[in-house]
Amino acid sequence: MKEAYVIGVDYGTDSVRSVIVNALNGEEIAASVFYYPRWKKGMYCDPAKKQFRQHPLDYIEGLEATIKDCVKQAGPTVAAQIKSISVDTTGSSPVAVDATGTPLALTEAFKENPNAMFVLWKDHTSTQEAGAINAHAKKFDTDYLQYVGGVYSSEWYWAKLLHIFKTDAAVKAAAASWVEHADWIPFLLTGGKEIANLKRGVCTAGHKALWSEAFGGFPPNEFFATLDPVLEGFVEHLPKETFAADVAAGAISKEWAGKLGVPEEVVIGIGAMDAHMGAVGGQIEPYFLSKVMGTSTCDMLVVPSGDLADNKTVKGICGQVTGSVIPVMTGLEAGQSAFGDVYAWFKNLLLWPMRFLKESGQFDATTADALMDEIAAKIIPALAEAAAQLPLEENDLYAIDWLNGRRTPDANQLLHGALTGLDLGSNAPKIFKALVEATCFGAKAIVDRFEKEGVPIKGLIGVGGVARKSPYIMQVMADVMGMPIRIHKSEQTCAIGAAMFAATVAGIYPKVEDAMSAMGQGFDQEFFPDPVRHEYYKKRMQRYNQIGAFLEANNF
């Protein structure tokens, strides 16, 4: 087979990463990262209101910068052999667009309006709307929530759309449609000019927007119009057909081929969410839970078609959609709304006094910034080392990990985190230990739900930054779960997964499983549970569940 190269693009919460990969063996040829400048400044966001918006220019600039940088690194010989590009993004992160498919924030009238920007997955301004959807769904003979775990989340498409339409009449009037980030980037790259021609991926539509083959597409207009009149007729403009990520969205436009320095014959794949492509990059196997661990977690499971007998649906998860991960299998998604974000919150809490370095007059600004960066980089590793040395005692601190609400099991974004058992002996390592245990208990609650619903978990696969960089956290995870966790070798499984789909879309491999086999990098770490610690954590897990139930029952 002749040399062939593909590009995987991974849009994360803070940055976008692109990689050029040798499609024959998975070798990474070039990589580039772009941090969203507007997001980094905190623009258009209000954490106190749980509002998190991203400007489309951050995405466009990052796309161009990273791919051009990769092409430059790889050189003209490699660039000439690039065959395809596939993209993954966070989700659900939708945006209002006009009839041309242009996000409203890219038009003069809405360029500074957060409601006209991408509503990031972690935006929880639509909790009331999600509650309304859940209550409304009970009025229908058809259970339109059955394939999303029975509970609709404020992190998802329709809740966000409804919130924006109810609170911003100008955006509602100008919006011709509402498009997921994962669907919009391929549309952009293929030079799309009419929103009616945009191809939507089954991944986002099925897991976040209530699309299902069982319904013949999305729920009918009656469902939405009786939910709220502002939605009257909206669903009728959405397509009934969706596509898996092994399907081409089209050829790259001449304009974008010229911008990026790639051949005009490059094929663009249908987009999907980051965790779903990350599971493929991490070489997911049936019944092995792939834990994509970053700011949040997405837990992916694939089940061969036909294994879920009698159309069984799993309650309390983020959906089950045929073709959302591997095209011929059912993809089941769960996850935690905050994982790495929990540790980042605690780090930022401890860093608060560091601002006085700049005010002290003892350091120039450059030295103060360097000291702050050095301390920030050392905090989590130092806390992990200290926490690992602590004895395991019955009355250790407890934490609840719902700092950004609870994604699964049973979505509830109104919940809050907690610490209990504090006394004057509680120090930073002890609190960090409690936070790590809480995030691992939250992960165990997901496994327990799958198994309670009759879906066995044979093992764990860890992918993402936390999995590779935090051995203490992974050891606690293994001890809490009572099963080993393999860590995938690649640090960029989402981008590599996108590259695997790109290779499939280009026809280099007949199916993505073949691309996984040829391009996968394998595993280089494994953490095994300690039986003594597992028994300790089994008892603490019971208390974690009791505290969580108390918080939920009392609306704390």
More confident residue, 355 or 96: 96
**pLDDT digits over 229-265, tens only?**
999 999 999 999 999 999 999 999 999 999 999 999 9
**pLDDT digits over 287-340, tens only?**
999 999 988 999 999 999 878 755 688 999 998 999 999 998 999 999 999 999
Q: How far apart are CA 459 and CA 285, in angstroms?
A: 9
**pLDDT digits over 187-212, tens only?**
999 999 999 999 999 999 999 999 99
**pLDDT digits over 133-154, tens only?**
999 999 999 999 999 999 999 9
The answer to whether 37 and 58 are in contact (CB under 8 A) is yes
Least confident of 219-233, 305-319, 424-438: 305-319
Which residue intervals of the chain bear CATH 3.30.420.40? Answer: 5-282, 340-489+524-553
The confidence band for 272, taking pLDDT boundaries of 50, 70 and 90, is very high
The CATH class given to the 5-282 domain equals: alpha beta
Residue 496 has pLDDT above 80, yes or no: yes
Q: Tell me, rounded to whole angstroms, the distance of Cα 220 from its chain centroid.
A: 28
**pLDDT digits over 39-49, tens only?**
999 999 999 99
Region 175-197 average pLDDT: 98
Q: Tell me, rounded to whole angstroms, the distance of Cα 512 from its chain centroid.
A: 21
CATH topology (fold) of 340-489+524-553: Nucleotidyltransferase; domain 5 (3.30.420)
Region 393-419 average pLDDT: 94
Question: Which residues 6+ apart lie within 8 Å of 268 measured at CB?
Answer: 84, 85, 86, 87, 186, 189, 190, 248, 249, 250, 251, 252, 505
**Per-residue confidence (pLDDT) for residue 363, from 0 to 100:** 84
Output the CA torsion 15→195→117→260 (10° steps): 30
The confidence band for 22, taking pLDDT boundaries of 50, 70 and 90, is very high
**Per-residue confidence (pLDDT) for residue 17, from 0 to 100:** 97
Residue 374 has pLDDT above 80, yes or no: yes
Q: Chain-wide mean pLDDT for the chain?
A: 95
**Per-residue confidence (pLDDT) for residue 310, from 0 to 100:** 58
Backbone torsion region of residue 238, taken as left when φ is above 0, otherwise alpha when ψ lies between -120 and 50, otherwise beta: beta
Region 280-290 average pLDDT: 96
Residue 1 has pLDDT above 70, yes or no: no
Give the Cβ contact number of residue 352 at 10 Å.
8
CA angle at residue 417 from 529 to 438, to 5 degrees?
5
Region 528-544 average pLDDT: 97
The answer to whether 288 and 455 are in contact (CB under 8 A) is no
